[in-house]
Chains A and B, each alone.
Chain A
Amino acid sequence: MNDRIDILLVEDNPDDIELAIHALREEKLANGITVARDGEEALDIVFCRGPHADRDFDSPPRLILLDLKLPKVDGLDVLRAIKSDPRTKAIPVVIMTSSKEERDLVESYRIGVNAYVQKPVSFDQFLSVVKELGLFWLVINQPPPSQAFDPS
């Protein structure tokens, strides 16, 4: 199993997954993409537990694209779990959702989200958003060094 995860896409709708992967493929970013279909699976992957217990904690996802409306564990709870654990809180999390609700925005930033993006309806705009997100977080941005994941 390939341990390396560039982008962890947390999204329940297969159409949206397909469109997102398509957009990422355009930008040659689709290779390192892993998809979690609900909040629980996302947490299993991030915290290397359950079916993903054999994953290595030392190579966390470089970017998590997180939808808010998710089955089982909801997006904000996933964000909360990641940002409240010292082993995972340095992972950049970008919320990508249809909602622009103020309370979602407020709550997300309170928990410590790194960016909040509303998915545009237009596919052209969606493409450019995904492209810029990938470019920024995986190329321009300096990823957190391993000391940032210090469990102490």
Chain B
Amino acid sequence: MSGPVSGAAGARPLHGTFKQKLAWMTVLVSTGALVVAGTAFMSYHLLASRRAIARNLAVQAETIGLNSVSALVFDDERSAEESLAALRADRNIVTAAIYGTEGNLFAAYAARPEDEDGIDRVISARQEDTVRFQRRTADAFRTIVTDGKRRGTVHLVYSLNELFADLAGYLGITIVVIGVSILTARFAASRLQRTFSEPVARLAAAAEVVSRTKDYTVRVEATSSTDEFGMFIDTFNEMLAQIQAREREVEAGQSQVQQLNEELEQRVLQRTAELDATNKELEAFTYSVSHDLRAPLRRIDGFANLLGDKCQSNLPDEGRHFLARIREGTQQMGQLIDDLLNLARLGRKDVSIRTTDLSPIVSRVADALSRDSNGRVIDWRLQPLPTVACDPALIEVVFTNLLSNAVKYTKNREQTTIEVGAIQDDGGFPVFFVRDNGVGFSMKYAHKLFGPFQRLHRAEDFEGTGIGLATVQRIIHKHKGAVWAESDVDAGASFYFTIDAQPGAGARQTLSKGETR
């Protein structure tokens, strides 16, 4: 999903809430303002009206009082009623009355006949000048005084109905205005919603889509306005674009890593195939050597033999000597080929690791060598050896080679001592050794010791093909171990080796100390 997101499809109902809040806020503010203004206005109007009424009543009562002085003095009831009747002009005056000095009713006026009952017959003789506001009326009392003498009291009752009607009118106007303002607020809110709420809703929807699908190609449709919301949307889109770009970079990096891995794997496969091919070639080669090299050798030996047999009488002694040399040469070469083939075969052989007690193997090898040693007395000093994980058949070959070498190179000693044992290296791993008191060798040539066909002694002194130690080294390497030797001319030789063939264990780094020489 990509492209601009508009509206609130699939989004949470945030949109409505925001719009409602906006509308409520507008209505509340405008209504509140109107209510406060209306109340203030009406209160002011009430106070002002009351003041005006009080003043008006005081003036009218004073006028009535002045006009009624002579009537009171001369006890002219009619004249007093006439001056009261002038109040008819003010339709707010409900009743009016003039009282004598004793508080007794002197003259009265009522706007309507039914109001006449409300007129008090007697009032207090010492009634003060006041204007009193009742629930529906205002009462005004005014003392009539001439020449510093109290002559009577005027009492006016003023109806407040008109004032209340005015206030009711104001209230109605206020309510209408509030209603209009609410409608206006709602309209404004919907307009505002288009400006504020819609962009926010679109942003919210886009953010929701991005967080749900992790799709950074989503963009929010830009508004035409250049206000903060427009900037907000632009910034949001910009941010998404940056994330998208970064995402692309990460993906590109990942695919590069993956490609490199694939290349590496491909290369490993290729190398493995090449190795396999090389191994096959080697195998074919050894097979061919085994068959093809031995066959002519056998023929040389066979015909040399026949020559010696059939033509014995015709051959001088020298000829027979030559024949003997030829035959010995072929024997030696036959042995060489056999040894070489065994060595090559080792390279192809899989090591089959088993927990192996080395002591019986060494005893067996030593016994066999003792039997073949033409009656030599050998002092075998065989220490008990630990049990290790190794290929027993191959390790027997190692001990056979090392022990037979020890026997071979001690053949000129009067007393032959051969010692086999194990010490522990720094890491607590066993280091096996085979030590003899034979002719030894110069450490100068130690580096040649384990190379095939390398010999440190003349053939006429010690027979051999130079394959034995190469075989030993190959086997030890197959066990992830190391082999080395220490010796000096005429000082005997010590051969050391380690085995690290624990299934699953990595190659142990013993080479720093015991690098094969």
Contacts and interface: CB of A to CB of B under 8 A. Distances in A.
A and B bind: yes
Interface of A: 13, 15-16, 19, 22, 68-69, 97-102, 119-124, 126
Interface in B2-60: none
Interface string B286-302: 01001110110111011
Interface string B181-194: 00000000000000
B510 interface: no
A121 B303 contact: no
Contact of A122 (B290, B299, B301): B301
A123 B333 CA distance: 14
A16 B345 CA distance: 26
A76 to B, nearest CB: 13
Nearest to B332: A121
A102 to B, nearest CB: 8
Contacts of B341: 100
A97 B298 CA distance: 11
Contact of B334 (A68, A121, A124): A121
A121 B304 CA distance: 12
Contacts of B299: 13, 15-16, 19
Main secondary structure of the interface of A (DSSP, over half): loop
A124 B290 contact: no
B331 A98 contact: no
Contacts of A69: 291
Contacts of A16: 295, 298-299
Interface of B: 287, 290-292, 294-295, 297-299, 301-306, 327, 330-331, 333-334, 341, 345
Residue with the highest number of chain B CB atoms closer than 10 Å, among A22, A69, A122: A122
Contacts of B304: 123
Nearest to B349: A102
Given A121-B330, A121-B331, A121-B334, A97 B301 contact: no
A15 B303 contact: yes
Contact of B291 (A19, A99, A120, A123): A99
A13 B302 CA distance: 14
Contacts of A98: 290-292, 294-295, 298
A122 B331 CA distance: 6
Nearest to B345: A102
A101 B304 CA distance: 27
Contacts of A13: 295, 299
B298 A123 contact: yes
Nearest to A120: B298
A100 B295 CA distance: 13
User: When A and B form their complex, which 7 residue pairs have the shortest distance between CB atoms, in order from nearest?
Assistant: A121-B334, A123-B305, A123-B302, A19-B302, A98-B294, A15-B299, A98-B291
A126 B330 CA distance: 14
Given A121-B297, A122-B334, 10 more contacts: A13-B299, A19-B306, A98-B295, A101-B287, A119-B294, A119-B295, A121-B333, A122-B301, A124-B305, A126-B302
Contacts of B333: 121
A85 to B, nearest CB: 27
Contacts of B334: 120-122
Contacts of A101: 287, 290
B152 to A, nearest CB: 157
Contacts of A68: 291
Contacts of B327: 122-123
Contacts of A22: 302, 306
A66 to B, nearest CB: 14
Contacts of B291: 68-69, 97-99
A119 B301 CA distance: 12
A123 B301 contact: yes
A11 to B, nearest CB: 10
A15 B302 CA distance: 9
Contacts of A120: 298, 334
B303 A19 contact: yes
Residue with the highest number of chain A CB atoms closer than 10 Å, among B290, B304, B333: B290
A119 B290 CA distance: 11
A75 to B, nearest CB: 11
Given A121-B330, A121-B331, A19 B290 contact: no
23 contacts: A13-B295, A15-B303, A19-B302, A19-B306, A22-B302, A22-B306, A98-B292, A98-B298, A99-B287, A101-B290, A119-B294, A119-B298, A121-B294, A121-B297, A121-B330, A122-B301, A122-B327, A122-B331, A122-B334, A123-B298, A123-B301, A124-B305, A126-B298
Contacts of A100: 290, 341
Contacts of B303: 15, 19
A22 B303 CA distance: 10
Contacts of B302: 15, 19, 22, 123, 126
Residue with the highest number of chain A CB atoms closer than 10 Å, among B291, B327, B330, B334: B291
A120 to B, nearest CB: 7
A120 B303 CA distance: 14
A15 B327 CA distance: 17
Contacts of A124: 305
Contacts of B295: 13, 16, 98, 119
A76 B299 CA distance: 23
Contacts of A19: 298-299, 302-303, 306
A57 B330 CA distance: 43
